[in-house]
Amino acid sequence: MQKLKQIFAPLAVVAALVAAWWAAVVETGSVIFPTPLQVVTAVVDLAREGELWTDIGASLFRVGSGFALAVAIGIPLGLWMGWKRGAFDTVNPLVQILRPISPIAWIPIAILWFGVGDLSPIFLIFLSSVFPTILQTASGVHTIERQYLRAADNFGVSRERLFFQVVIPAVLPQIIVGLRVSLGIAWLVVVAAEMIALRSGLGYLIIDSRNAGNRYDLVVAGMIIIGLTGLLLDTMMRRLERLKSVRWRYGR
């Protein structure tokens, strides 16, 4: 029964929003903004032509590449900054200078360095993902409960074993949170980058549909697909919280 409620409640909210959307379009008599049925038809047409899967695949490839690079660099760097006070004092100022710069502001530089292609959005995604990953990981190390470290010290655990068997397991829940945030930002950035610098992907689908005769059914379809894909990515990341090495930190 509880699971049915968890499924029914969000579906009911979505159904209400779709009904309100449909009623608003009909009531205003808009000839530009599409109805839900027109959007569904547009999605079916894109899927039948194969363009939809090509654009989704292109966006996911760019996000996956940039995000993987951010994880490979951000987690070790964050662990190092959290574990070594000197490393934190040295690197943190640079991180705090670069972190507030919008990834969109890097678009002209990315195009200058990497040209118009996949490398530019991958670079932008890396920049958008790496800083939240670094800071969340370092914060996780700083907030480890002292009794874990004291208990390991009482047993004469070496610094190396302490790091790998106590610090990393203790900080994993914080790392997962950082990865979820970073992936969400990465998905936002790839859409913006594709609108400006590329000729494929969901972002390009939206801007191209707008320019090609005001196809707002495709514009809204692209927006909905972006949202649903983002939900799917977040759901996949949340499954990491169920890992035995991570689950201990959560109440449910």
Q: For the chain, what are the domain ranges?
A: 1-31, 32-247
Q: Using the predicted structure, report yes or no on whether residue 182 has a pLDDT greater than 70.
A: yes
Q: Using the predicted structure, report yes or no on whether residue 232 has a pLDDT greater than 80.
A: yes
Q: Within a 13 Å sphere around the CA of 143, how many CA atoms are in the beta-carbon half?
A: 12
**Nearest CA to 189 among 113, 115, 131, 112?**
131
Higher-scoring residue by pLDDT: 3, 250:
3
Q: What does the pLDDT average to over 157-182? A: 81
Please report the pLDDT score of residue 162 as a whole number. Answer: 74
Please report the pLDDT score of residue 72 as a whole number. Answer: 95
pLDDT digits (tens, 9 = 90+) for 43-53: 898 888 888 88
Query: What is the H or E stretch that residue 176 is in?
Result: helix 168-197
Q: What does the pLDDT average to over 210-221? A: 80
Question: 225 near 249, Cβ under 8 Å?
Answer: no
Q: Which fold has domain 32-247?
A: MetI-like fold (1.10.3720)
| Residue 213, helix vs strand vs coil | coil
Please report the pLDDT score of residue 2 as a whole number. Answer: 60
**Nearest CA to 193 among 179, 183, 182, 206?**
206
pLDDT band at 247 (very low <50, low <70, confident <90, very high): low
Q: Using the predicted structure, report yes or no on whether residue 251 has a pLDDT greater than 50.
A: no
